[in-house]
Structure 1
Amino acid sequence: MSAPGRSRASTGLCRSQKHSASCASAQSIPRRLYFNNLVDDIWAHKRQADRLAAEEHDANSRPTKNFKPSKKARSSFAFQVVVRMNEKARFSNANSKADIAPLYSLRTYKAIPDFPRTVSEIDELSLASLEDILYHLGTAIPRGRSSKRWELLAEIGWWGLRSIPSRT
Structure 2
Amino acid sequence: MNKMEPEDPNEFCNFVGMDKSCYDKLLSFISDNICHKDTVMKESISPSGRLAVTLRFLATGESYKSLSFLHRIFVPSISHIIMQVCTAIRDVLKDKYLKAPTTEREWQLTADMFDELWQFPNCLGAMDGKHVAIAAPRSADSLYYNYKKFNSIVLLAIVDAKYWFSLIDIGCNG
TM-score (norm 2): 0.23
Point out the structure with max Rg over C-alpha. Answer: 1
Higher percent of residues as strand: 2
